[in-house]
Homo-oligomer: A and B are copies of this chain.
Amino acid sequence: MKKISERGGQKAAGRRSSCPIACALDLVGDKWTLLIVRDMHYLGKTRFEEFLASPEKISTNILASRLKTLEANGLVTKSPYGNHSQRMSYELTASGKSLAGLLRRFAQWGLENIPETATPEFKSATK
Contact = CB atoms under 8 A, between A and B. Distances in A.
Contacts of A56: 16-17, 19, 22
Contacts of A18: 55, 116-119
A88 interface: no
Interface residues of A, number: 49
Interface stretch (A44-52, A60-68, A99-107): A99-107
A32 B8 CA distance: 22
Contacts of A23: 110, 114, 117
A35 B21 contact: yes
Closest 3 CB pairs of A and B: A20-B110, A24-B110, A20-B117
Interface of A: 8-10, 12, 16-27, 29-31, 34-35, 38, 54-57, 95, 98-99, 101-103, 105-120, 122
